Amino acid sequence: MDNMTFVLFGATGDLAKRKIYPALYNLYREGRMPEKISVVGLGRREYTDSKLQSVIKEALESFSRREVEPSGLEEFLEKFRYCIFDATKPESYDKLHQFIKDRESELDIPDNRLFYLSVAPTLIKTITEGLHESGISSNAGWKRLMVEKPFGSDLVTARDLNKKLKEVFTEDEIFRIDHYLGKPMVQKLESLVHANPMLKALLDHDQISNVQITASETVGVGTRAAYYDQAGAIRDMVQNHLLQLVMMTALYNPDKMSTSEIEAEKRGIMESLKPITKENMEENVVRGQYAAGQIEGQAVPAYLEEAGVAEDSNNDTFFAARLEIDNENWRGIPFYIRTGKRMKKKSTRIVVEFKCDGDEEALKDDGIEPNLLIIEINPNESMTLKINIKNQSEEKFEPEYITFSNVSATQPEAYELLLHDAMQGNETFFAHWKEVELSWKWVQPLLDEFEKDGLPLYKYPAGSDGPEEAHHLLKEDGHQWWYV
């Protein structure tokens, strides 16, 4: 891996502490960092190098999946320096430029620069412009930009933001983070069929009845009301994470794919996704908002009673929809997606339901249920096959489960995989512009209708599996949600 400078905007923030420092530490422990790396942490706070290093040490002790070991810790922390920096002040950039160059000469490393923007979305354009105008991004070595979500707040703002970034960075240099794409199980989806020819037969599309993708949380809005009450589940989860999971699930190519082939396939899937229009929205989409209820026996308040939420807010905390991918592989196979806060269980999973041959009533009488392939992404990682086995004593069938699972503690965190890929310049598991644009395009009619309150907002009790109407969505097609 090339020696480089890693410039971290937002080094004093929450994301840096909870995700970025632990990810860098675990990469370091595995020998998956460049031999020489200068990490420059930035923020307005008046930290010194040693203050930043002690903040990082505390963050590792709280959030690293590996226990912090004294051996090597000093060497790891020594890679970090702190530069006081205000993104809104032009003079900050000249100071930063000199700071980066001084460290490059001190460490005798080339001017390869990876910029990570872990700051509020409102600062992204300002920082990108500052990097350009100061010459920081006009280096002779390579340059890369990592950007956190959200990427815009609708189609227009996303396009505008992208245009600004493209004035300074090429598409190959922009790494848009969708941390769902960093989850190890999601990354495995792409090679599943290629590496397991058996699955090619199993995933014969003539045998698939429907696909269900769920991302449910038990937590409420917490301290994020200022952002979430504007964004809702549709922007926070659907436009990015859920649609990326749809693309990754629908990737169907038995051959090994290159990054550009995966990108083209994903784009094709988004282009084949039938638009949801004002006319067909109500029959295909359910939005909800949590009412008071109980989570694990504890009473929790309604969304409208949460701190920072407008008392008459009509924001969605739940979203479910029926999607149709109109291409050769998936035509006629519905994809159901749902996401919600304050649901019964925390779970991100994909369920592929297979068709059952024969008379429905007779199958039921025999205890035969549809076969399922269950891919659990979070909190555990596993693949499970649900099959029917005859119970000798009662002469009936009972479901049995064959599970292949990974031990979560030894699995890398999403941010480790994403940071490692960006350091290597591998864009496979980042959101490419076309995917982002097509996702916003698909979501935009929904945003417009939600804005006008044109779609019912159903209440569901906290601790449930969402509004009843989300069950009707599947019942109408003769299906049911499998698990929460």
Ligand X SMILES: NC(=O)c1ccc[n+]([C@@H]2O[C@H](COP(=O)([O-])OP(=O)(O)OC[C@H]3O[C@@H](n4cnc5c(N)ncnc54)[C@H](OP(=O)(O)O)[C@@H]3O)[C@@H](O)[C@H]2O)c1
To 5 degrees, how large is the angle CA 109–CA 111–CA 113?
115
Instruction: Consult the annotation and say whether 179 binds a ligand.
Output: yes
Rounded CA separation 308/305 (Å): 9
- Residue 132 is a catalytic residue: no
Q: Which is nearer to ligand X, 146 or 375 (CB)?
A: 146
How far does the chain reach from its first CA to its final CA, in angstroms?
Answer: 42
Contacts 24+ apart (CB under 8 A), 301-305: 301/220, 301/462, 302/462, 303/220, 303/221, 303/341, 303/342
Query: Which of these segments, 5-13, 210-218, 239-247, 425-433, binds ligand X (CB under 6 A)?
Result: 5-13
Q: Where are the beta strands (DSSP E) in 56-112?
A: 80-84
Instruction: Consult the annotation and say whether 15 binds a ligand.
Output: yes
Per-residue interface string for the shown chain with ligand X, residues 31-70, x marking contact by CB under 6 A: ------------xxx-------------------------
Q: Which listed residue (4, 7, 12, 290) binds ligand X by CB under 6 A?
A: 12
Q: What are the angstrom distances between the C-alpha of 30 and each of 24, 61, 72, 268, 399?
A: 10, 17, 12, 37, 41
Q: Which listed residue (88, 170, 260, 403) binds ligand X by CB under 6 A?
A: 88
Residues 6+ apart with CB under 8 A from 7: 40, 42, 96, 100, 113, 114, 115, 116
15 is a contact residue toward ligand X (CB under 6 A): yes
Instruction: Consult the annotation and say whether 341 binds a ligand.
Output: yes
Give the alpha-carbon dihedral of 466, 470, 471, 476, to 10 degrees: 180
Smallest gap from Cβ 415 to ligand X, in A, equals 10
Q: Which is nearer to ligand X, 87 or 337 (CB)?
A: 87
Smallest gap from Cβ 181 to ligand X, in A, equals 13
Residue pointed to by tokens 């005859």: 390
| Pairing verdict, β 381-391 and 293-295 | unpaired
Contact 377, 407 (CB under 8 A): no
Rounded CA separation 39/107 (Å): 11
Residues within window 103-122 making contact with ligand X, judged by CB under 6 A: 118-121
Rounded CA separation 157/160 (Å): 5
Smallest gap from Cβ 82 to ligand X, in A, equals 10
Residue pointed to by tokens 């003079």: 91
Q: Which is nearer to ligand X, 86 or 451 (CB)?
A: 86
Q: Give the residue nearest to ligand X (CB).
A: 13
Q: Which is nearer to ligand X, 40 or 251 (CB)?
A: 40
Q: φ, ψ for residue 288 (rounded to 5)?
A: -145, 170
Smallest gap from Cβ 51 to ligand X, in A, equals 11
Instruction: Consult the annotation and say whether 358 binds a ligand.
Output: no
Number of helices (H), then strands (E), in the chain:
17, 17
Q: Which of these, 427, 437, 440, lies nearest to 171 by C-alpha position?
A: 427
13 is a contact residue toward ligand X (CB under 6 A): yes
Q: Which is nearer to ligand X, 148 or 306 (CB)?
A: 148
Smallest gap from Cβ 130 to ligand X, in A, equals 10
Instruction: Consult the annotation and say whether 13 binds a ligand.
Output: yes
Residues in the chain, overall count: 484
Instruction: Consult the annotation and say whether 170 binds a ligand.
Output: no
Cα atoms in the 13 Å half-sphere on the side-chain side of 63: 20
Q: Which listed residue (6, 76, 85, 482) binds ligand X by CB under 6 A?
A: 85
Instruction: Consult the annotation and say whether 468 binds a ligand.
Output: no
Instruction: Consult the annotation and say whether 17 binds a ligand.
Output: yes
Q: Which is nearer to ligand X, 137 or 388 (CB)?
A: 137
Written as one letter, the residue type at 44 is R
DSSP character for 343? Answer: B
**Distance between alpha carbon 233 and the CA centroid of its chain, in Å?**
13
Instruction: Consult the annotation and say whether 94 binds a ligand.
Output: no
Q: Which is nearer to ligand X, 15 or 455 (CB)?
A: 15
Per-residue interface string for the shown chain with ligand X, residues 141-180, x marking contact by CB under 6 A: -------xx-------------------------------
Query: Quick count: other Cβ atoms within 10 Å of Cβ 260?
Result: 11
> Of 241, 420, 432, 479, which residue is the catalytic one?
241
Q: Which is nearer to ligand X, 120 or 219 (CB)?
A: 120
Smallest gap from Cβ 135 to ligand X, in A, equals 19
Contact 349, 189 (CB under 8 A): no
Smallest gap from Cβ 260 to ligand X, in A, equals 27
Instruction: Consult the annotation and say whether 421 binds a ligand.
Output: no
Rounded CA separation 265/75 (Å): 43
Catalytic residue numbers? 241
- Pick out the residues of the known binding site: 10-17, 44, 149, 179, 183, 217, 236, 341, 346
Contacts with ligand X, residue ranges (CB under 6 A): 10-16, 43-45, 85-88, 118-121, 148-149
- Pick out the residues of the known binding site for NADP(+): 10-17, 44, 149
- Pick out the residues of the known binding site for substrate: 179, 183, 217, 236, 341, 346
